[in-house]
Structure 1
């Protein structure tokens, strides 16, 4: 891959250089490169040597993980000095910039793009020459608020650079997965803790592990079976069905295990029937109260069944359990963990996020007919879909521990979903069959991402009226842009617009109000009091004629014409409460894609600042799903639900009123939904500004305390998130503190 430097004053106006892979790098499946270890290395080849001096280094990497830590080294002829490395904590898809100083002419530049196995593309790498004066100004700007500005201006460039570098080296929020495993996971899994868990189990059911094989690579199969034998929970049986393997060493290995371990039951099928029939053959061998599903080259973590049985004891009414997972290569190096949401119905309709490890009550599996032929490749998804139709939400339990290692090798869907294209078609059939059984007119279409789907919910006839409520105080340009984009770009036609006028004084705005009413484009309702977002919207809802109300900020601008149709379809579902949209900053970055409780103390926006084209953490930026809350900058809800929970809380005048409202809606028994198929621009902070006065900051602090008092522990555990993910950053990076210590 070739890049051009943006530096001026180099040996030529634009110096061409190339990324030369040197270590632990190979061609990727879904992105340009695949890191095969923990120290991948590029050399940057270019003509001549870069002049010494100040530079702005900018780097953008899109990766299969939410964040990578890249390092840039300059070799001045004496080799690489680790202490001189420049670190870049790069959020996937986001441009990262950092001032640097080349003390001399580097003879070689080296880039380590990440520190973990993953796939990635280096989309941008540039060196822009700076004057020392410009470099000092940029560093001082970065340090503003962290240091005394007067003291900074008196520093020489060297100590200023030292303090500037500390911003990056000390405040790197991300840790690699290898660091997470050693610093966070490992300390929670000591033998004494696991033994204590086992001793406290009141119910110790037999767990039957289902395993089907077909010409599996013998060494990987051996490791798979040994991972079951190495379980810290002893009450298991392994039920193996070989689907007529033609490779005799596979059958010999299976016979060897079955003959030496009575807990292993084996059936050697004489005719190949594919995975569903083979799975049913394994199911016939089951004696256990629960079945666990294991693929033939994957591994169970040693504590997998123990933690599942602990969950069974903790939730005796539940019948379906699933865990977090990661990937493992042929060298048994772990990578790409999937820290999952608790039961997330709409995310599950978008794709099979459950996958591994799944443990289901045997009686339920048999009652629904076991594994179904005709959906091979997505037979587990099909089984899960049919199972959830018999279960309440509380009977499906997420176990937030990495209990399963999915083998990522050539030909495996763990490496890339495109490896097995037939799985997407099988999953589509499974989902369509599931919805056909509900007798609802629901359309399911393929998503642009493999093994993902878009569910289009039915719309009542005639289409329900939507009342779009837009509060404003002056802001003529923003308001006109908002209303014009709604009226000119929205395909859904059954809507009315209510503008809530909060003491506007601008003559242009007042004239625009008259125009709106005279032309029938909108109704204008006056709110003659100090700004109170909750009270303003409550007034708007009281005047709304629609069955559905939409809370819309005056700085919203429509992007795609089907945004309202999409949101109305979800808001019309009887079990759904609030519906949120995908909001972009004007520069195309993500502003809102769902709200996560606990981030920053109360709540934060998921995937904030991600590149607009990014698919997000395990594709969550591109899939319909449930979130605990969504922003009221663009929120739809049935008017009856709004009134049922008492509307927005007037004591929360500015902040968190939408989070509080969504939590009340969830508490009333509804699910809140976020959809990426409703896209809008949000020109945030243009209309109200920042929290930059003592009065505003005091009000904000009071609203935080109100939320903490009202919701308490609810804010500390978001079921749509994961305790292993950060509560200080909005990028799905790993939690640097042990969030879950297994306890008896």
Structure 2
């Protein structure tokens, strides 16, 4: 609802007239209009006054001064109408307001502007407008202001982004192409504005408030009839401001059925002890134990656990904060999953000023990822009986005590008893000496984590060693034993002898694995050079050439090869791949031979050493897309996920290892999917049977993607692609939108783990794969 009154400054040739979702509010003593934005699409019309006109063609500096009383100004923008109506394709993003409420943006107005709309925000807010101004500027001024704007948005200390943009502009200007340089600069400026409009701060403003108030969320039970959740809080000489904010975040919980169990680990500060006694006297739900001797975090946590009366324990560090709905959301998830024994949420970091940043949006239960990094971390809630059964936290593992506890608890429960709540419920404090600030674990913590993983592997009967990676994560090297299973490497081919030679030569020369055969499956090669090379291969040890005549059908070719294969492990390998690391097959087989594992994929690079495949994300681009595409080799990726072994719902068939028994169990590849998505479908059918698919960055190859087959550039190929897309959507529709190895707060329009606007789901979830590993700890 809006009132039809306008905001107009004397002498200004235009006025702002509310169109929708804007309710005019009584202004303060200065009589300036204030508005309540009601909804996610409030709109003003920029209307010419009787003696004025809309802005003419040219460059402008748009200045908007906001006074925000409540809510936030998110992604303000203009919509010009040049005769084709208002649409997203010509939307003009405006800069976010600075701390003083000012937004300054360089824009260009094209010829024949017929109408102009101003959308002040995309979420509810109560605000006033002190200024809304279009100042005509020269092109030189526009260049300066755009460079200044890029710097202001990116906040780089040395103006790296702005200087890079200026260098691109200058290089063209010096060649006499000032217009082209200006357009490049304008494009970079607009792209920077769009990226800022999709930043985490904007995401929080729109989706990070009261979780119970988000659309589709169930209301928390005000009576708190859910389980008692005891919060375990070890404390030692915490700076008082952080300790207050930590405890206050528990007191502010919307869920009332909690207990706060504090163990002070012999703090030297009397102020800390007085503060804790003060809180305990204020609320009977707070219990405090004061240790006489310093025993470090594990012993202090165990003392706090001794105070706990709750059915579930939540773990909180002494300078961190809980979201006000953290316990409410955990209680709701416990109600939705009656057998749950371990829960974890998403998290972010919070700096000393209270600004939240760097969200960690996690996958559903992902045991291989947990052996590469403690991705579970915060906020973790575990059944108290389970924690006590494993003996609580283990002294000697300080720095990785929570990682060790989660591994020990997970060994005793089923995968479907582990629930992920995809909501940011925990804020990890980033201060001068914290791990959050340093960006990685300290050496003693890394070693403790390595030992915790090695212990876990030993308890579950896995013969392996654990290494610390250059990025500060972990790699498990599984030992294969003396009796290596035979591997049949299936290489489909047709002509393109240059590619096939490189593939086979690299395979024979760079493969350290000792027991394999190569089956080259020829799909009707006709080129003399290819036929000659195939004849040579027939004389090579380890190599067999078999024929598959007829129309190209990747699935049928692989199934044909599998029927002729002698190995107990099959390895699908494209003829346009090239081996890099000699241990590639050892790595793939070490995972493929695990009884709980189905398909295993490796790290594929483009020839220029950028990532081509680091696992598959379902739903990206429609059906599926490769993660971390075009990142440089050696990149960390999203919170380390480009450099550690992990479970993925699917991996590419360009390099895929699988036990023959699993391949046969799911019926091989679907020959109705001749070219596209047959590898994704195979992986999803494997996942459906309860196996876990694995991606590893430690099997490295180059991939000259689709070099031998070409592109989808004919009407027939496009029609076939559409038909195969339809098959996948009909067969796997819901799963394609809810990949358990991805997060519903991350976008399906990006391969780089960017934020989803809006999130797709808030529902708590389990991973889906339930086939247990061959050995599980069941007793102390």
Fold match (TM-score > 0.5): yes
Is the alpha carbon distance of 1:534 and 1:193 closer, same or farther for their aligned partners in structure 2, counting shifts above 3 Å? Answer: closer
- The question of 1:325 aligning with 2:364 is answered no
Q: Which residue of 2 aligns with 1:359?
A: 381
Separation of aligned partners in 1, 2:226 and 2:259? 13
Q: Which has the larger displacement, 214-223 or 426-435?
A: 426-435
Separation of aligned partners in 2, 1:192 and 1:663? 31
Q: Which residue of 1 aligns with 2:526?
A: 505
Q: CA deviation at 1:84?
A: 5.1
Q: Which residue of 2 aligns with 1:250?
A: 272
Q: Secondary structure at the match of 1:467?
A: strand
- The question of 1:302 aligning with 2:324 is answered yes
Q: Which residue of 2 aligns with 1:176?
A: 199
Q: Which residue of 2 aligns with 1:5?
A: none
- 1:42-81 mapped onto 2 (5 Å cutoff): none
Q: Which has the larger displacement, 512-521 or 327-336?
A: 512-521
Q: CA deviation at 1:512?
A: 0.2
Q: CA deviation at 1:440?
A: 3.0
- The question of 1:614 aligning with 2:635 is answered yes
Kindly indicate whether the alpha-carbon contact (under 8 Å) linking 1:116 and 1:177 is maintained by their aligned counterparts in 2.
no
Residue number among 443, 449, 452 corresponding to 1:427 in the alignment: 449
- The question of 1:697 aligning with 2:718 is answered yes
For each residue in 1:380-412, what CA deviation from the matched residue of structure 2 results, as whole angstroms up to 9, or x when unmatched? Answer: 111111101111100111000000000011111
Kindly indicate whether the alpha-carbon contact (under 8 Å) linking 1:288 and 1:362 is maintained by their aligned counterparts in 2.
yes
Is the alpha carbon distance of 1:111 and 1:621 closer, same or farther for their aligned partners in structure 2, counting shifts above 3 Å? Answer: farther
Q: Which residue of 2 aligns with 1:374?
A: 396
Kindly indicate whether the alpha-carbon contact (under 8 Å) linking 1:593 and 1:674 is maintained by their aligned counterparts in 2.
yes
Separation of aligned partners in 1, 2:290 and 2:103? 57
Output the aligned Cα RMSD.
3.1
Kindly indicate whether the alpha-carbon contact (under 8 Å) linking 2:373 and 2:474 is maintained by their aligned counterparts in 1.
yes
Separation of aligned partners in 2, 1:119 and 1:338? 25
Q: Which residue of 1 aligns with 2:696?
A: 675
Residue number among 605, 622, 626 corresponding to 2:647 in the alignment: 626
Q: Which has the larger displacement, 643-652 or 599-608?
A: 599-608
Q: CA deviation at 1:444?
A: 1.5
Residue number among 414, 426, 433 corresponding to 1:411 in the alignment: 433
Q: CA deviation at 1:106?
A: 6.2
Kindly indicate whether the alpha-carbon contact (under 8 Å) linking 1:213 and 1:243 is maintained by their aligned counterparts in 2.
yes
Q: CA deviation at 1:263?
A: 0.5
Separation of aligned partners in 1, 2:654 and 2:215? 50
Q: CA deviation at 1:697?
A: 0.7
Is the alpha carbon distance of 1:255 and 1:161 closer, same or farther for their aligned partners in structure 2, counting shifts above 3 Å? Answer: closer
Residue number among 467, 470, 490 corresponding to 1:469 in the alignment: 490
Residue number among 598, 610, 615 corresponding to 1:577 in the alignment: 598
Separation of aligned partners in 1, 2:289 and 2:517? 65
Is the alpha carbon distance of 1:192 and 1:517 closer, same or farther for their aligned partners in structure 2, counting shifts above 3 Å? Answer: closer
Q: Secondary structure at the match of 2:436?
A: coil
Structure 2: runs of 5 or more not aligned = 1-92, 96-101, 109-137, 765-780
- The question of 1:437 aligning with 2:459 is answered yes
Q: Which residue of 2 aligns with 1:82?
A: 105
**Structure whose CA Rg is larger:** 2
Is the alpha carbon distance of 1:574 and 1:215 closer, same or farther for their aligned partners in structure 2, counting shifts above 3 Å? Answer: same
- 1:155-166 mapped onto 2 (5 Å cutoff): none
Kindly indicate whether the alpha-carbon contact (under 8 Å) linking 2:298 and 2:394 is maintained by their aligned counterparts in 1.
yes
Q: CA deviation at 1:175?
A: 0.9
Q: CA deviation at 1:113?
A: 5.7
Is the alpha carbon distance of 1:707 and 1:579 closer, same or farther for their aligned partners in structure 2, counting shifts above 3 Å? Answer: same
Q: CA deviation at 1:610?
A: 1.6
Residue number among 360, 381, 385 corresponding to 2:407 in the alignment: 385
- The question of 1:604 aligning with 2:625 is answered yes
Q: Which residue of 2 aligns with 1:315?
A: 337
Structure-1-length-normalised TM-score: 0.80
Q: CA deviation at 1:169?
A: 7.4
Is the alpha carbon distance of 1:538 and 1:167 closer, same or farther for their aligned partners in structure 2, counting shifts above 3 Å? Answer: farther
For each residue in 1:644-663, what CA deviation from the matched residue of structure 2 results, as whole angstroms up to 9, or x when unmatched? Answer: 10111000011000000001
Q: Secondary structure at the match of 1:454?
A: strand
Kindly indicate whether the alpha-carbon contact (under 8 Å) linking 1:117 and 1:336 is maintained by their aligned counterparts in 2.
no
Is the alpha carbon distance of 1:501 and 1:102 closer, same or farther for their aligned partners in structure 2, counting shifts above 3 Å? Answer: farther
Kindly indicate whether the alpha-carbon contact (under 8 Å) linking 1:595 and 1:629 is maintained by their aligned counterparts in 2.
yes
For each residue in 1:181-232, what CA deviation from the matched residue of structure 2 results, as whole angstroms up to 9, or x when unmatched? Answer: 112333754399878232698x611000000000000111001000000000
Q: CA deviation at 1:572?
A: 1.0
Q: Which residue of 2 aligns with 1:565?
A: 586
Residue number among 203, 210, 214 corresponding to 2:236 in the alignment: 214
Separation of aligned partners in 2, 1:376 and 1:335? 26
Structure-2-length-normalised TM-score: 0.76
Q: CA deviation at 1:268?
A: 0.6
Residue number among 615, 621, 629 corresponding to 1:594 in the alignment: 615
Q: Which residue of 2 aligns with 1:23?
A: none
Kindly indicate whether the alpha-carbon contact (under 8 Å) linking 1:548 and 1:638 is maintained by their aligned counterparts in 2.
yes
Q: Secondary structure at the match of 2:382?
A: strand
Kindly indicate whether the alpha-carbon contact (under 8 Å) linking 1:318 and 1:396 is maintained by their aligned counterparts in 2.
yes
Q: Secondary structure at the match of 2:545?
A: strand
- The question of 1:185 aligning with 2:208 is answered yes
Separation of aligned partners in 1, 2:721 and 2:656? 22
Q: CA deviation at 1:493?
A: 2.5
Separation of aligned partners in 1, 2:715 and 2:210? 43
Is the alpha carbon distance of 1:453 and 1:627 closer, same or farther for their aligned partners in structure 2, counting shifts above 3 Å? Answer: same
- The question of 1:293 aligning with 2:315 is answered yes
Kindly indicate whether the alpha-carbon contact (under 8 Å) linking 2:450 and 2:468 is maintained by their aligned counterparts in 1.
yes
Is the alpha carbon distance of 1:106 and 1:737 closer, same or farther for their aligned partners in structure 2, counting shifts above 3 Å? Answer: closer
- The question of 1:398 aligning with 2:437 is answered no
Q: Which has the larger displacement, 503-512 or 192-201?
A: 192-201
Kindly indicate whether the alpha-carbon contact (under 8 Å) linking 1:411 and 1:419 is maintained by their aligned counterparts in 2.
no
Separation of aligned partners in 2, 1:200 and 1:701? 52
Q: CA deviation at 1:442?
A: 1.7
Q: CA deviation at 1:131?
A: 5.2
Residue number among 747, 758, 763 corresponding to 1:737 in the alignment: 758
Is the alpha carbon distance of 1:130 and 1:329 closer, same or farther for their aligned partners in structure 2, counting shifts above 3 Å? Answer: closer
Is the alpha carbon distance of 1:231 and 1:377 closer, same or farther for their aligned partners in structure 2, counting shifts above 3 Å? Answer: same
